[in-house]
Amino acid sequence: MSIEERVGQLFMVGTPADAAGRAALDAVTDRHVGGIFLHGRSRAGVAATAAMTARFTKLTDPGAPPLWIATDQEGGEVQVLRGAGFDDMPYAIRQADRDAGELRSDAARWGRQLRDAGVTMNLAPVADIVTSHATRFDNPPIGGLGRQYGYDEQSVAATAGAFADGMRDAGVMPTLKHFPGLGRVTANTDYADDVVDTVVTADAPDVDVYRTLLADGPAVVMVGLAIYARIDDGAPAAFSDRVVTGILRGQVGFDGVVMTDDLSATRAVADIAPADRALDALEAGCDLILVSADPSVLPAMYDAVLERARSDDAFAARVDAAAARIVTAKAAGL
């Protein structure tokens, strides 16, 4: 691949779940973007969604790596795709009431519905550990929405792991999120800046659960945008070398694809220029930059990464390594 194509592999751009947005279509053709994210909510059903996602997959050149088509299909309030052919999925905390075998079977069925719609990656399951049932509503991004699979490391590992296995059974790449854990924060990084976790450490259960989950099979890991005061109090996790390279890569030993949470419109990054968001995430060790809610910032991000890669050999090597991880993961067929 050319340097322009390698840089394009590092981005996943959003489009409305029920329409092929012009900005996203242009991102694939003009900047070789390697991933599309279906955002919002759709009741169009499987057949209509498949027709829409095909508009993107038809844009890739023969022999080029396939597009990753992704969405948030967790269940409960966080289920992007509904309508004919899609089951209404229960909240994660209700999925966790099922035994592991039943949940894996259910998740495989939900995954096949995604594949039939042209979706090849699910930004699920949530691996965040909410501390207790009694205080779950003190945790707006996860517990307040019933997105948790349990209240301890063992429960989350078993049930989120069963969900991930079902996705793999269906040929859909699961994404474990939000490293190193959003289960203890008291605000949502989508809507608040300076969200700080004062509890999680490098050896917390919130981190350790990833060892178990990642041993089960291929997965992408999404890094969140909270600041972890006891790990690195100077940067959101996705921009922190200590979090991504030091803990996830070094301590946990993960060598697969690391993606960011949305860097386009979340309040946590609003005061950082879009170009710097992309550069900082890559320098921290992330591979895939999610630009889901506002694709208009993609040109500034892409152009900044391309310019730096052309002028900085060390950064170019970082781009090459990230692109290689992504292409290798795509070649695995999930």
C-alpha 277/C-alpha 293 separation (Å) is 15
Query: What is the rounded end-to-end Cα distance, in angstroms, of the chain?
Result: 21
C-alpha 236/C-alpha 233 separation (Å) is 8
Q: Determine the average pLDDT of the residues in 136-157.
A: 97
The mean pLDDT of the chain is 97
**Residue pLDDT, tens place only, 6-35:** 999 999 999 999 999 999 999 999 999 999
CB atoms within 10 A of CB 148: 29
Structure tokens at 97: 């009431």
Residue 333 has pLDDT above 90, yes or no: no
Residue 221 has pLDDT above 90, yes or no: yes
Residue 61 has pLDDT above 90, yes or no: no
Give the bridge partners for 68, in sequence order.
Answer: 35
pLDDT of residue 26: 97
- The pLDDT-based confidence of 223 (bands split at 50, 70, 90) is very high
pTM score: 0.98
Sequence ranges of the domains in the chain: 3-331
**Residue pLDDT, tens place only, 78-91:** 999 999 999 999 99
pLDDT of residue 332: 85
C-alpha 56/C-alpha 118 separation (Å) is 10
**Residue pLDDT, tens place only, 308-325:** 999 999 999 999 999 999
Helices 22-31 and 298-311 sit at what angle, rounded to 10 degrees? 10
> What CATH number does the domain located at 3-331 have?
3.20.20.300
- The pLDDT-based confidence of 302 (bands split at 50, 70, 90) is very high
Main-chain phi, psi angles of 272, to 5 degrees: -110, 130
Strand 196-197 relative to strand 173-179, pairing: unpaired
Residue 63 has pLDDT above 90, yes or no: no
Strand 227-228 relative to strand 173-179, pairing: unpaired
